[in-house]
Structure 1
Amino acid sequence: MDESVSELTFKDKTAMQPLIGFAIIIALVAFGFYLSTLKDILPLHLFAGILLGYILTRARFGFAGGIKRIYMRGEGSLSKALLLLLLVTSIVIMGIQWAAASNGAIPAYLATNGQAVIPGTTNVYFTNIATVFGGFIFGVGMMLAGGCGSGTLADFGEGSGRAMIAFVFFVIGAAPGHYARQVIDKTAVGKIGFQIHLPQIMGYFGALLLTAVLLGFLYWGVLAYENMRKQQGTYLDPKGDYEDFELPLKDVKEPGFFNSKVYHKLFIERWSFTFGALALAIMAIFVLVTTGKNWGVSTALVTWHVAFLDMLGIQLPAEYFQSHIDKVQAGLLNDGGTIRNIGLIVGSALSFLLAKRFAFDFKMSKKDMFYFALGGLLLGFGSRVGLGCNIGAMYAAISSFSASGWVFLLSMSLGGIVGMKLFVGQVSILPVPIHKK
Structure 2
Amino acid sequence: MGKNFNKGQATVGFILILAIAAFSLLYWKVNIKFDSVHLVTGVIIGYVLSRSRFGFAGGVKRVYVTGEASLTTALMLMFGITTVAVGAIHYTGLVQFTPFINPVTLGLFLGGFLFGMGMILAGGCASGTLTDSGEGEGGAWIGLIFFILGSVLGVYVKDAITATSIGKAGTGIYLPDYLGIPGAILVSLLGLFAIYWLAKSYENKRKANDAYEKTQFADFEAPIQDDGPFQLFSFKTYHKLFVERWTFITGGILLAFLYVFIVVTSGTQWGVTGVFTSWGVGFLQLLGMEFPGAGFAGAVSDVNNGLVLSSVGMRNVGLILGALAYFLTAGRFKLNFKLKPVDILFYAIGGTLMGVGARLANGCNVGALFSGIVNLSLGGWVFLLTMTLGGLFSLKVFAGKTSTVPIVRCKK
1:187-225 alpha-carbon deviations (Å, 9 max, x no partner): 200122121111122111000001011111111111111
Q: CA deviation at 1:38?
A: 6.1
1:193 to 148, 170, 189: 170
Moved >6 Å (runs of 4+): none
SS at match of 2:172: coil
CA contact (8 A) 1:120 1:288 kept: no
For these two proteins, the number of residue pairs brought into alignment is 410
Instruction: Please tell me the residue identity of whatever aligns with 2:255.
Output: L
In structure 2, the partner of 1:274 is: 249
In structure 1, the partner of 2:385 is: 410
In structure 2, the partner of 1:322 is: 297
Instruction: Show the 5 A alignment for 1:122-271.
Output: 123-237=100-214, 240-251=215-226, 253=228, 256-271=231-246
2:23 to 16, 27, 31: 31
SS at match of 1:127: strand
1:355-410 alpha-carbon deviations (Å, 9 max, x no partner): 11110111221111111111111111111111100000001110111110000000
In structure 1, the partner of 2:376 is: 401
What is the Cα-based RMSD across aligned positions, in Å?
1.8
Q: CA deviation at 1:313?
A: 2.5
SS at match of 1:194: strand
Asked whether 1:119 is paired with 2:97, we answer yes
In structure 1, the partner of 2:45 is: 52
TM-score normalised by the chain length of structure 1: 0.90
Asked whether 1:88 is paired with 2:65, we answer no
Consecutive unaligned residues of structure 1, counting only runs of 5 or more, are: 1-7, 104-116
Deviates more, 1:168-177 or 1:26-35: 26-35
CA distance in 2 between partners of 1:161 and 1:208 (Å): 41
Deviates more, 1:249-258 or 1:282-291: 249-258
Consecutive unaligned residues of structure 2, counting only runs of 5 or more, are: none
CA contact (8 A) 1:120 1:400 kept: no
In structure 2, the partner of 1:114 is: none
CA distance in 2 between partners of 1:216 and 1:368 (Å): 36
Deviates more, 1:169-178 or 1:76-85: 169-178
CA distance in 2 between partners of 1:86 and 1:58 (Å): 19
CA contact (8 A) 1:181 1:386 kept: no
Q: CA deviation at 1:40?
A: 2.1
Q: CA deviation at 1:436?
A: 6.7
Asked whether 1:312 is paired with 2:287, we answer yes
Q: CA deviation at 1:119?
A: 2.6
CA distance in 2 between partners of 1:316 and 1:299 (Å): 16
Deviates more, 1:356-365 or 1:406-415: 356-365
Instruction: Show the 5 A alignment for 1:13-24.
Output: 14-24=6-16
Q: CA deviation at 1:430?
A: 1.5
1:98 to 85, 91, 95: 91
1:47-81 alpha-carbon deviations (Å, 9 max, x no partner): 11000000000000111000000011111000000
Asked whether 1:75 is paired with 2:68, we answer yes
Q: CA deviation at 1:34?
A: 3.8
CA distance in 2 between partners of 1:195 and 1:118 (Å): 20
Q: CA deviation at 1:256?
A: 3.9
Deviates more, 1:46-55 or 1:241-250: 241-250
Q: CA deviation at 1:235?
A: 1.4
CA contact (8 A) 2:209 2:411 kept: no
1:293-313 alpha-carbon deviations (Å, 9 max, x no partner): 111110011110111122222
Q: CA deviation at 1:250?
A: 1.4
SS at match of 2:368: helix
Deviates more, 1:406-415 or 1:123-132: 123-132
Deviates more, 1:340-349 or 1:224-233: 224-233
CA distance in 1 between partners of 2:411 and 2:355 (Å): 31
Aligned identity (percent) is 40
SS at match of 2:359: helix
SS at match of 1:333: coil
SS at match of 2:104: coil
1:311-333 alpha-carbon deviations (Å, 9 max, x no partner): 22222124111111111111123
CA distance in 1 between partners of 2:142 and 2:126 (Å): 13
In structure 2, the partner of 1:337 is: 312
Instruction: Show the 5 A alignment for 1:353-372.
Output: 353-372=328-347
CA contact (8 A) 1:39 1:334 kept: no
Deviates more, 1:216-225 or 1:246-255: 246-255
Q: CA deviation at 1:226?
A: 1.0
CA distance in 2 between partners of 1:289 and 1:318 (Å): 34
Asked whether 1:376 is paired with 2:369, we answer no
Deviates more, 1:306-315 or 1:392-401: 306-315
CA distance in 2 between partners of 1:362 and 1:333 (Å): 26
CA contact (8 A) 1:252 1:261 kept: no
1:240-268 alpha-carbon deviations (Å, 9 max, x no partner): 32112222111253664232111111111
CA contact (8 A) 1:38 1:334 kept: no
In structure 2, the partner of 1:107 is: none
CA distance in 1 between partners of 2:154 and 2:279 (Å): 14
Instruction: Please tell me the residue identity of whatever aligns with 2:298.
Output: S
